[in-house]
Chain A
């Protein structure tokens, strides 16, 4: 007798497979039974989803060892724990790092058994870093992600994935995609939910519409569906009803089938227990309920689409009443995110919603000032926020009213509702302070014709946010009856460390706060027609940037005293002092050189670094315009001394420095023909936009040039060797080994073609302001290579370009050249010749 051989050993893989099949069948059986009783609603589906979770967790554990953090998330209906009998199982497998061969093996080991079980798996595999491009991902995935739920693995990976994304753009795109999908789907059903044979999932008023309404609320305002539409209770009932119907449909069809056809309606009505003496009666009652629920869903969806605020940032939306947090509970614990609320309101030109202000107001007192600026990015965000533009005053007022401003900048609390009784001020000190910022903001936004000149100054400022910061602090010292300017400056210094301002920023704010009444004293109380008064004031402010800041601060401050204080008369006095001082600073500084007497008690000379002697420093500084020491930091000056020490006659020492708003090129070399135009030409040949700069020439012929420029084409950023290449080109051009004209020609032609209609250039020759130099002021439309062309024209006319100030204001280039020819000022004929040449160059005629 023969018998079949018994397996001598059990195959563990087969055993595991059998166990999994058995578990899945048990779970399905459970849901099928409930569905058969008409109870396949939320509870039964939750139970089934729970069983599926356990199965996936087991597969994850069995898939082998991991080389990095991985997590599996349930998406879509499964993510909502509403997995139906024959629904797809949508999964996201998220890897912490780059997916390698070992990870792919893990993936196969994890996913294959799911397919073997006969499940329809919709799987997405991503690396955390791919979150950075999430807003560009496919719209179905973005929608499914809104219901993501961790099943197994490191659940924080999803937070990291989302944190890498641009949340506002992703949410906006998700909403747009959702709206488009809804419209497209509704069109397939002729835009009506009154379908006699409806698809309970896809048709208008079906489950997809319900989830659509919930998703809109989730992305914009969780309370949205409680505030309008059919109400949450009606939606819950509709959901339960439709889920039960769908479960029966899956059970009856034995597959993924959601159409409630005439044939199946009777069986569904029976399973759901509808009463009636005939099948028709039972179906009519059942379908009547169906349409009532579909109508509730339709109503809520329409309301959600109409009323949903737009996502505009992480946890931020814009509604009819302004910008608000999506989740106030989350926001309440994250004070570092609050500034973004006010920034978004400025960006969106709307207020902050009352509930968001209430949330901030209720919680502001819980946090120390440091909690609002935990990182450099947060501190920089504050400075960015303070840039004057429409809405800043209103947002700062909101921050003050809800006590956030005083919590962030505690020194401001000292003047909260502070009253100082005098004949002039009409407002409390805190409101006066905020009004100064409103005055500045108005200058930034289409000022009146009379104020345009001040508005232009504001546009020219390199760091207008420092002016606003200074205004915020200028009167905080008024809490005491002592000299408030000194007290304000002292209090402002407490803020410097907290905001981690750099040395230049500190010096600027300290000066402005301490000296904020100086310009009004000089303008309104001194004889500003006296050149000596102007000279002293110019010496006091030092450089044009500071002059502009102080001028604007004075204007804003005086105007905020009362409506009547800043008269046109005072404005004119202020402007005239500004112009006279500006002219003094830009036109006469060449005559004010550093002499040996100034160096006697100079800290720069007396305390040099270890590798420099006082003599070396003094020798370097002597003969340079005094302005030089006001423009460069102490460290920069010592570096110049060091570099100049060993500078051979035919060498060019140049270096690039990355700065906040672009790049700086510093060049130390000995004077030679066409030097300045060659340097400017090299920068232009790389497409660099020169914004500011200075050129100094010592009597010994040593040149110190500094150019501040932006690299709009990102040449330096994108090329590892970019800096070295630019500096090499510079040396080659300056030393005559390369001709810059040919290199620049192609770029200039392109730039000319792109030029917008501009304004007539101005060339003004001044032989009076300086004892030593002829001064050429040029105001022209900024263009690539402009500086190169005009300075080249000067050199071609035989002029030496000794000192240069380069500035830009929007599209206008404002350049001041101090020239000599053979060591002396230009004759009237030479002036005529050079101005004629320059006019031709600027008008493109040569």
Chain B
């Protein structure tokens, strides 16, 4: 199993969600996050004064998928979240050793 963590633009969440659902991946966790990439944000000007916008609002989508589906899921996320501009986000893939259902205690492999 793989845990896929995608940091995407806030307005791209619905599109990413739809793309994953097409792959029958319906379970996911979505979190509002703030951060920056290599550009470390940017400066904005309001009423003549500059201020640093270092932490940009993004959405983090987490899904756990079987190894066999990981590549498709990653591709689907990238395709749906991409605009081609700076700030499109990142996808991280992390191996998952074990998974349990809390209600039943059942272990999933």
Known contacts A527-B12, A576-B44, A779-B49; 17 additional CB pairs below 8 A are A524-B10, A527-B9, A527-B83, A529-B85, A529-B87, A569-B32, A573-B57, A582-B46, A583-B45, A583-B46, A762-B48, A763-B48, A764-B48, A766-B45, A777-B47, A779-B47, A779-B48
**A–B pairs, 11, beta carbons within 8 Å:** A525-B11, A525-B14, A528-B11, A568-B34, A569-B33, A572-B57, A573-B10, A576-B57, A762-B49, A764-B45, A764-B48
Is B23 an interface residue when CB atoms closer than 8 A count as contact?
Answer: no
Is B53 an interface residue when CB atoms closer than 8 A count as contact?
Answer: yes
Within 8 A of B (CB), among A527-581: 527-529, 567-570, 572-573, 576, 579-580
Is A492 an interface residue when CB atoms closer than 8 A count as contact?
Answer: no
Within 8 A of A (CB), among B24-47: 32-34, 44-47
Cα–Cα, bound, A763→B50 (Å): 11
Cα–Cα, bound, A706→B83 (Å): 44
Q: A569-B33, A573-B57 are in contact. Are A527 and B45 (CB under 8 A)?
A: no
Is A224 an interface residue when CB atoms closer than 8 A count as contact?
Answer: no
Is A526 an interface residue when CB atoms closer than 8 A count as contact?
Answer: yes
Is A469 an interface residue when CB atoms closer than 8 A count as contact?
Answer: no
Cα–Cα, bound, A189→B68 (Å): 103
Q: Which residues of B lie under 8 Å from residue A582 when comparing CB positions?
A: 46
Q: Which residues of A lie under 8 Å from residue B10 when comparing CB positions?
A: 524-525, 573
**Residue on B with the closest CB to A769?**
B45
Q: A525-B14, A573-B10 are in contact. Are A762 and B47 (CB under 8 A)?
A: yes
Per-position binary interface string of chain B over residues 55-71, scored 1 when its CB falls under 8 Å from any chain A CB and 0 otherwise: 00100000000000000
Cα–Cα, bound, A361→B44 (Å): 53
Distance of A799 from chain B, by nearest CB (Å): 17
Q: Which residues of A lie under 8 Å from residue B46 when comparing CB positions?
A: 579, 582-583
Contact A570 B32 (CB under 8 A): yes
Is A803 an interface residue when CB atoms closer than 8 A count as contact?
Answer: no
**Residue on A with the closest CB to B85?**
A529
Q: Which residues of A lie under 8 Å from residue B83 when comparing CB positions?
A: 527
**Residue on A with the closest CB to B46?**
A579
Q: Which residues of A lie under 8 Å from residue B33 when comparing CB positions?
A: 569
Cα–Cα, bound, A302→B49 (Å): 62
Is A383 an interface residue when CB atoms closer than 8 A count as contact?
Answer: no
Cα–Cα, bound, A777→B47 (Å): 6
Question: What total count of A-B pairs have CB within 8 Å?
Answer: 49
Cα–Cα, bound, A526→B10 (Å): 8
Q: Which residues of A lie under 8 Å from residue B12 when comparing CB positions?
A: 527
4 tightest CB-CB pairs across the interface, nearest first? A764-B48, A777-B48, A569-B32, A762-B48
Is A111 an interface residue when CB atoms closer than 8 A count as contact?
Answer: no
Distance of A28 from chain B, by nearest CB (Å): 83
Contact A527 B34 (CB under 8 A): no
Cα–Cα, bound, A573→B13 (Å): 15
Cα–Cα, bound, A576→B12 (Å): 17
Is A814 an interface residue when CB atoms closer than 8 A count as contact?
Answer: yes
Within 8 A of B (CB), among A502-528: 524-528
Q: Which residues of B lie under 8 Å from residue A307 when comparing CB positions?
A: none
Contact A569 B34 (CB under 8 A): yes
Distance of B52 from chain A, by nearest CB (Å): 13
Distance of B34 from chain A, by nearest CB (Å): 6
Contact A764 B44 (CB under 8 A): no
Q: Which residues of A lie under 8 Å from residue B32 when comparing CB positions?
A: 567, 569-570
Q: Which residues of B lie under 8 Å from residue A134 when comparing CB positions?
A: none
Q: Which residues of B lie under 8 Å from residue A529 when comparing CB positions?
A: 9, 85, 87
Is A356 an interface residue when CB atoms closer than 8 A count as contact?
Answer: no
Is A297 an interface residue when CB atoms closer than 8 A count as contact?
Answer: no
Cα–Cα, bound, A708→B35 (Å): 43
Cα–Cα, bound, A566→B87 (Å): 24
Distance of A457 from chain B, by nearest CB (Å): 11
**Residue on B with the closest CB to A775?**
B48
Is A727 an interface residue when CB atoms closer than 8 A count as contact?
Answer: no
Q: Which residues of A lie under 8 Å from residue B48 when comparing CB positions?
A: 762-764, 777-779
Contact A579 B49 (CB under 8 A): no
Q: Which residues of A lie under 8 Å from residue B53 when comparing CB positions?
A: 576
Q: A526-B11, A569-B34 are in contact. Are A764 and B49 (CB under 8 A)?
A: yes
Q: Which residues of B lie under 8 Å from residue A576 when comparing CB positions?
A: 44, 53, 57
Cα–Cα, bound, A527→B47 (Å): 23
Cα–Cα, bound, A526→B12 (Å): 8
Per-position binary interface string of chain A over residues 771-793, scored 1 when its CB falls under 8 Å from any chain B CB and 0 otherwise: 00000011100000000000000
Q: Which residues of B lie under 8 Å from residue A527 when comparing CB positions?
A: 9, 11-12, 83
Contact A579 B87 (CB under 8 A): no
Cα–Cα, bound, A572→B85 (Å): 21
Q: Which of B33, B34, B47, B57 has the most CB of A within 10 A?
A: B47
Contact A569 B57 (CB under 8 A): yes
Cα–Cα, bound, A172→B46 (Å): 49
**Residue on A with the closest CB to B50?**
A764
Distance of B29 from chain A, by nearest CB (Å): 15
Cα–Cα, bound, A358→B83 (Å): 61
Cα–Cα, bound, A568→B48 (Å): 24
Our pick among B11, B44, B47 for the contact of A814 (Cβ within 8 Å) is B47
**Residue on A with the closest CB to B12?**
A527
Contact A572 B11 (CB under 8 A): no
Q: Which residues of A lie under 8 Å from residue B9 when comparing CB positions?
A: 527, 529
Q: Which residues of B lie under 8 Å from residue A762 when comparing CB positions?
A: 47-49
Q: Which residues of A lie under 8 Å from residue B44 when comparing CB positions?
A: 576, 579-580
Cα–Cα, bound, A2→B36 (Å): 133
Cα–Cα, bound, A766→B46 (Å): 12
**Residue on A with the closest CB to B53?**
A576
Q: Which of A525, A569, A764 has the most CB of B within 10 A?
A: A569
Q: Which residues of B lie under 8 Å from residue A572 when comparing CB positions?
A: 34, 57
Per-position binary interface string of chain A over residues 572-606, scored 1 when its CB falls under 8 Å from any chain B CB and 0 otherwise: 11001001101100000000000000000000000
